[in-house]
Structure 1
Amino acid sequence: MRVFMRFYFVLFLSLSLTACSLPRGAALMQEVVRETKADSPSFQVIEVTRTELATVAQWPRAAKQTKTYWPKASKGPNSSTIRAGDTVDLIIWDSNDNSLITSPGQKSTEMRGLTVSPSGAIFVPYLDDVVISGMTANDARRNIQTRLTDISPSAQVQLMLRQGLQNSVDLVSGVTSPGTYPLPSRNYNILSLLSQGGGIDKTLRNPQVRLVRGSKTYSIRAEALLSDHARNITLQGGDTVIVREDDRYFTALGATGSERIVYFDKEEITAMEALSMLGGLSDGRANLKAVLVLREYSTKQVGTGRNSPDLPYVVFAFDLTNADGLFAARNFDIEPDDTVLATESAVNAARALFGLIGSAFGLANAASGN
């Protein structure tokens, strides 16, 4: 009997030591906040309540946040103007038998493939360079015909315009039919372009529409563009439109329904919505008193007073066992690159220890019976 009592004692001692290193999927709350008691803590812990939420809301956005802009809508005359790089075809008709323009026995002459020069002109025989840039096709035809009057009063001009790259836009991705599209008029807007390209791909997550115009890039959520007529801007020649998924994300760790990278599926996500996207908290593992959001600020954003964090690394802690913590989580915005961490319940570790002890005593009793 003494042998088995000694065995029980040694087994209990070894299991107690083993419990300290039991494998767990998340940290205990006391492990996370232990750093705050250090003489020089490396991160700051904020227990988020509805009262504290008002203060945190005044803090700057995290370092990697960037502002997005969208140009104002504008309209021009309902026509397409000629620009450098466009191609013009001219047919000049003249019924005069002694015309300088047409060959003997012919009533017309054709001049095809006239490229509008960088200065906005085309070369027409007997007229030299004729500036037509900025004109509509009809205005350019009248201008050429008027100038030909001194040479051949009966001449009539027919003009066909083929728009070049400066009078077209590129629709790069995120639609059924990407490609280069000519501008049919100066009122051609971005929604018309997206529609002509087959519409935005419905499989895209929270699609973003980006406009590259010269050296500037603008961005807007597709939902905002579709819902606000004032955002439906007029396109300009040389514009590039890109439709792509929202690439912002946060990371989920610990005793949640899943541990993974989670992409934003809408413009703003609260802490409560983030937990819902993860499938909730793990039953029996998660500590509802300590759901954490880890965030990193730039060194320039800290230490400037009450409206800023004290340290670059901040842990926001939520107690979901009371209404105050629940409402705070409903109104706390997750930012890109945040980490949502559900800490491990201490009860879970204790249960594992007691289970091991129970199993050990069962084995010992079985050995004693033999």
Structure 2
Amino acid sequence: MTLVKLRLKTALSIMAVVSLVAACGLPRSGPTRNEIFSGSVQQEGDAFVVQVTDTVARATRTSSALGFSQSFVNAPIGGSDTIQPGDVLGLTIWENVEDGLLVNQGANAAALEELQVDGAGYIFVPYAGRILAAGNTPEAIRRIITNKLSEATPDPQVEVRRLAGDGATVSLVGAVGAQGVYPIERPTRTLGAMLAQAGGITLEPDVAQVVVIRGGQQGRIWFQDLYRNPNYDIALRGGDRILVEEDARSYVALGATGAQRRVPFESNDLTVIEALAQVGGLQSNTADPRGVFILRSEHEVISRRLTGRPDLQGHQRIIYLLDLTQPNGMFAASEFMIRDGDTLYVTEAPYVQWQKVIAALTGSLGSVGSVGDAASTLGN
């Protein structure tokens, strides 16, 4: 056998061994670009692959804004001494006659003590009837009783006092400086003031959300919006429950990134560039910057718009592709927004798999020369 034929046979044998090793399925971080494309609808798969452009970034942008309903925003400032069900009131009534309705002869005033506000919010006052006390201040109750008694006795004078009960209170829980029940007082009639009274929040402002529960209603805002939008500094009501909690949204990072894990959002809105930065960016020795993918279950309306398929029904599997090597690739990545539940996947560069094949061969056979010997042996 001539030297040329021997070298050719050796080379072919080496290629056969390399192909065999590659076919055995070497370890890798996930599918390749071609494998992802093979699962697309365009190739009879079940997911749409969409190249991210400025137009796509704008079409998929959704707001993460939160807010209070108009019933919360329009509620007026309440009194700091508003009476609540369960409070106990004391009344003193003066009548401008010698023989009054309530004042005994020889006395100048009548005292009605221990008038407890019932569950419906009412108290009973003789000759005035049932008076709605809950939701009113002592001054408002005084005027109501005075008007009622004026129909039966001339120029009555009434004093109303809260003898027991905390009045209007709210409860604060979650990530606040001091959890507890706080009275609504003159300096703390609004949400922002009450949070300050409780020691502020213990979370980063970018990821803090404030929830207000009032009866059967609930409102949620970003903490930062409380100070950006004065309308969100709502007036509080007795019985309000205030919860401060961290943004629960997250995405999953996989592939040739600095970390493979579930990643919480660090801001209200998060772009692909920011998401990559959170996990340490692309791995410089393995990542393929042409293969940055966002896997998402996309809304029906957006899916129809992107694919031009008005027949689509329900959420669709969309795979967004970003090629960071394109002239506008980095700009597109800085405008495309990550959403809750997304999977961020970066493919490995093609040569990485060849490196693994070489490493597998040299590791098992000792050296490239040993590969040649093995190939010669196979040829004999």
Give the alignment partner of residue 342 of structure 1, picking from 342, 346, 362.
346
Aligned partner of 2:85 in structure 1 is 85
Could you tell which deviates more after superposition, 239-248 or 31-40? 31-40
Q: 2:161 aligns with which of 159, 164, 168?
A: 159
Distance 1:169 1:312 in 2: 44
Is 1:198 the counterpart of 2:203 in the alignment?
Answer: no
- State percent identity of aligned pairs: 24
Q: In the alignment, is residue 68 of structure 1 matched against residue 93 of structure 2?
A: no
Q: What is the aligned partner in structure 2 of residue 18 from structure 1? A: 21
The Cα offsets for residues 266-291 of structure 1, whole Å up to 9 and x where unpaired, read as 11111111111110111211111111
**Alignment partner for residue 323 of structure 1, among 312, 321, 327?**
327
Structure 1 residues 242 and 366 mapped into 2: Cα distance closer, same or farther (>3 Å)? closer
Identify the range of structure 1 (289-298 vs 81-90) with the bigger mean alpha-carbon deviation.
81-90
C-alpha distance after superposition, 1:332-364 (max 9, x if no partner): 111111111000111111112223444525386
RMSD between aligned residues: 4.2
Q: For residue 352 of structure 2, what is the amino acid of its counterpart?
A: N
- 1:45 and 2:46 correspond: no
State the match for 2:116 in structure 1.
114
Cα offsets for 1:308-351 (capped at 9, x unmatched):
79781111111112331111111111111111100011111111
Q: Deviations over 1:162-184 (max 9, x none)?
A: 5678x333323221222333333
SS of residue paired to 1:33: helix
Q: Relative to structure 1, is the Cα distance of residues 265 and 304 closer, same or farther in structure 2, using a 3 angstrom cutoff? A: closer
**Cα distance in 2, alignment partners of residues 267 and 307 from structure 1:** 30
Using the size of structure 2 for normalisation, the TM-score is: 0.77
Q: Equivalents in 2 of 1:362, 1:304: separation in Å?
A: 55
Q: How does 1:50-61 map to 2 (within 5 A)?
A: 53-59=54-60
Q: 1:267 matched to which residue of 2?
A: 268
- Classify the secondary structure of the residue corresponding to 2:181: strand
Q: What is the match of residue 362 of structure 1? A: 367
Encode CA deviations 1:147-202: one digit per residue, 9 max, x unaligned: 6676797875342265678x333323221222333333598111011112221113
What's 1:141 paired with? 142
Aligned-residue offset at 1:91: 4.7
Pair 1:199–1:47, CA change in 2 (3 A): same
Amino acid in structure 1 at the alignment position of 2:90: L
1:245 counterpart residue number = 246
Summarize the alignment of residues 25-44 of structure 1 with structure 2, pairs less than 5 Å apart.
25-36=29-40, 39-44=43-48
In the other structure, the counterpart of 1:352 is 356
Q: Which segments of 5 or more consecutive residues in structure 2 lack a partner in the other structure?
A: 1-5, 374-380
How many residues are paired up? 359
Structure 1 283/326 Cα, relative in aligned 2: closer, same or farther at 3 Å? Answer: same
Deviations 1:105-146 (A, max 9, x none): 99874512511452x431234654334455421232344456
Name 2:279's counterpart in structure 1.
Answer: 278
> Structure 1 36/328 Cα, relative in aligned 2: closer, same or farther at 3 Å?
same
Show CA shifts across 1:284-308 (max 9, x none). 1111111111111245754467677
- Structure 2 CA distance, aligned partners of 1:8 and 1:322? 37
Distance 1:207 1:161, change over 3 A: farther
1:200-235 Cα offsets, whole Å, 9 max, x none, are 113677011112233332221101112332321112
